[in-house]
């Protein structure tokens, strides 16, 4: 599969189907004009995460907690199931049970035998029930900029809770964000976590090659 960061908390995953996660609106930067998907997942209903109209292709929309299976092309030539399994885990956008910023959904994707997890705008450490629902994670997309989400220190703790193989930081101060957005750059998280850093434009990965990236922070240029 191929994973591309489209800025802020938006990712595109290309596999048997194309998934766009948390598409952002133009206030935090442009999306590709030709962006299309089969599936869009939305962690919460804020403008920088739910710009569904920015994604073409008449995708299926998932914006609720629950367990979902999307059937792929069941070709007998395939050695692994092409089905994509998506699990939405209810969490909160803040550290006070959603009283400040509401709810948030953590999405877990089972694709090509790998488990990917996107934490949305998670605002707290995870409890045992949430961790059990999330399960084993190979690739973790985690907010690190603070203010609206967990900050660098909390993000390091969450990485310790989930224990992924690869970390993809998101929701930090990047070049497209207006200066007025009060979130931090990625640097503090990278330093505090202490994993090796790899910078890519896109991440091509499968179940055989993931071992090459164990305990890696992937930064997208």
pTM assigned to the model? 0.95
Looking at residue 23, its pLDDT comes to: 98
Which of 158, 64, 151 has its CA nearest to residue 107?
Answer: 64
First-residue to last-residue Cα distance in the chain: 19
Please check whether residue 48 lies inside any domain of the structure.
no
- Which range of residues forms the domain containing residue 150? 64-220
Residue 5 lies in a domain: no
Average pLDDT (50-61) is 97
Answer yes or no: is 4 within a domain.
no
What pLDDT, in 10s, does the model give residues 160-209?
999 999 999 999 999 888 888 899 999 999 999 999 999 999 999 999 99
In a domain, 50, yes or no: no
Residue 41 in any domain: the answer is no
Q: What is the pLDDT of residues 67-96, one digit of tens each?
A: 999 987 544 444 455 689 999 999 999 999
Exposure of 113 in the CB half-sphere (CA atoms within 13 A): 10
Question: What is the per-residue pLDDT across 112-171, written as a single tens digit (0 to 9) for each?
Answer: 999 999 999 999 999 999 999 999 999 999 999 999 999 999 999 999 999 999 999 999
Whether residue 51 is contained in a domain is answered as no
DSSP 62-115: E-SSEEEEE-----TT-SS---EEEEEEEEESSSSTTTTT-EEEEEEEEETTEE
Does 9 fall in a domain?
Answer: no
Q: What is the pLDDT of residue 11?
A: 98
CATH number where 94 lies: 3.60.15.10
Q: 48: buried, middle or exposed (CB in 10 Å: 19+, 13-18, 0-12)?
A: buried
> Is residue 84 within 8 Å of residue 39, measured between CB atoms?
yes
Counted domains in the chain = 1
Residue 4 scores a pLDDT above 90:
yes
Report if residue 58 sits inside a domain. Answer: no
Residue 78, pLDDT score: 42
Per-residue pLDDT at 15 exceeds 50: yes
| CA dist., res. 62 & res. 23, Å (int) | 12
């Amino acid at each position: 599969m191929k994973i591309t960061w489209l800025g802020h908390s938006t990712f595109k995953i290309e596999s048997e189907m194309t998934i766009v996660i948390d598409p952002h609106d133009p206030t935090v930067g442009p999306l590709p004009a030709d962006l299309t998907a089969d599936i869009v997942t939305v962690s919460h209903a804020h403008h920088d995460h739910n710009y569904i109209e920015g994604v073409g292709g008449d995708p299926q929309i998932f914006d609720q907690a629950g367990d979902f299976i999307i059937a792929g092309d069941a070709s007998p030539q395939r050695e692994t199931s092409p089905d994509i399994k998506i699990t939405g885990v209810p969490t909160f956008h803040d550290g006070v049970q959603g009283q400040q910023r509401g709810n948030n959904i953590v999405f877990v994707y089972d694709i090509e035998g790998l488990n990917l997890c996107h934490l949305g705008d998670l605002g707290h450490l995870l409890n045992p029930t949430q961790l059990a629902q999330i399960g084993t994670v190979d690739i973790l997309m985690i907010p690190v900029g603070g203010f609206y989400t967990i900050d660098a220190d909390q993000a390091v703790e969450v990485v310790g809770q989930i224990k992924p193989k690869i970390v993809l930081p998101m929701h930090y101060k990047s070049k497209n964000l207006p200066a007025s957005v009060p979130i931090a750059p990625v640097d503090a998280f990278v330093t505090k976590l202490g994993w090796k850093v790899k910078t890519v434009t896109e991440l091509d990965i499968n179940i055989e090659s993931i071992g090459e990236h164990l305990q890696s922070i992937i930064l997208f240029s």
